[in-house]
Each structure stands twice: as structure tokens, then as C-alpha cells.
Amino acid sequence: MRSFTSSFIINQEWEKVAKAVLQKYPNSLNDRVETVDVLRTDRVLKEAECRALLPKATGMNGNGKADQGLLIYRLMGTKWNVPKWILKFAGIDRDALVHEAFGVFPAQQTLVHVSENVSFSSIIKIKEKLVYRSCPSMLTTELEQTFTVELPHVPGGVTEYFENMILDMNQKNIGKGRRGLLEVIHKLEL
């Protein structure tokens, strides 16, 4: 298993960023997302739901009750941006499904977005977690991004090669994803 974490400051207020994150697709910088379907939305009522998305925080307010928030579960249909020879080697298609979970906590000015591939998860497991928090100045938003890839059933020496290749591809796309988010923020401001 390989992973990396990065941080970035977005020069926009948290509320604008949160709205844009939920409306990020489609955007002109990513034509691979073909469908986005909302599976379920729930108000946050249980501490366990908060902890699932905010493991560092208690997810509880000072009164010992769950903070008000919204949980959103979506299914995204995409085309994988993977070299054709890898798809052939693994015996998989470009069409892929990704499960997304969002936790929106306005009182904490925090939005947590966790995505995991549904398709091909017995071959490759990709998980990405993005946490958007309001900075103390309230005029900017901090993004902390963690990306993890695991090939559980690929032989030893080959595993490291493929995991590193997928990490490298993702790191190269980080800037593109951030620019896409800024594009959506600017569209929402019009």
C-alpha cells in the first residue's frame, strides 16, 4: 500500500468552497466524469457517523450531542485515465464507478469528502480523502488531501511498481483538480 498527503490553501471562504465541491462535476478540466448520482442524504444524528468522516475530531459539540451536519452519499461514473496496456494487463475496462461520501459540518466549517473505487476493487483499491477547513482568518480554506492505493492481489515486486505509477499519475492531476474547483467557484459567483 502506498499513500501521500498534501495541503493547499484556497483563497476563498469556506462556504463558497463547500458549495463548489458539491458541484465540481462537470468542469472543463475533467471530462472523465460522466454521471453523478445522489444515493442518499442524511442529517447527522449519531456520534459514530461523525467519527466515520471526522476521526480526528469527536464530531460532538460541547453539549455531548452530534453537531448539525449533512451526510451525502453519491455514485460517480467515470472513465479511468489509465494507460491502455494496464487495463489490458488487468483485464478491466475504462468505465468505473466511484462511491463518494461527504460530511458537511457548517458549525465546524469543515467538509470531508471520501471517495473509493467500487469497480475493480478486488484488483486495485484507491481511496482519497479531502478535508476542507476554514482557516482562522475565515477568508481562506485549507485543503488537506490524502490519496492511498493498494494492489492486494498483485505479486510482490510488481505491486510497488504499479502503486508508485498510480501515485505519480494522481500527484500530476492534483493541480488540475484544484483548478477545476476554482473554475466552479468562479462560475457560482457569476
CATH number at residue 164: 3.30.530.20
pLDDT for res 60: 45
Reported as a single tens digit per residue, the pLDDT across 23-42 is 998 888 888 888 899 999 88
Total tally of structural domains belonging to the chain: 1
- φ/ψ bin of 109: left (φ > 0), alpha (ψ from -120 to 50), beta (otherwise): left
pLDDT for res 75: 95
Query: What is the DSSP code string of 106-149?
Result: GGGTEEEEEEEE-TTTTT-EEEEEEEEEE-TTSS-EEEEEEEEE
pLDDT for res 161: 83
Amino acid at 97: L
pLDDT for res 57: 46
Neighbours of 176 (CB within 10 A): 12
Reported as a single tens digit per residue, the pLDDT across 128-156 is 999 999 998 779 999 999 999 998 877 77
Q: Residue 137 — φ and ψ, nearest 5°?
A: -70, -15
Ranges of the chain whose pLDDT falls below 70 = 44-67
Domain that holds residue 67: 2-189
Using an 8 Å Cβ cutoff, are 29 and 165 in contact?
A: no
Report yes or no on whether pTM surpasses 0.95.
no
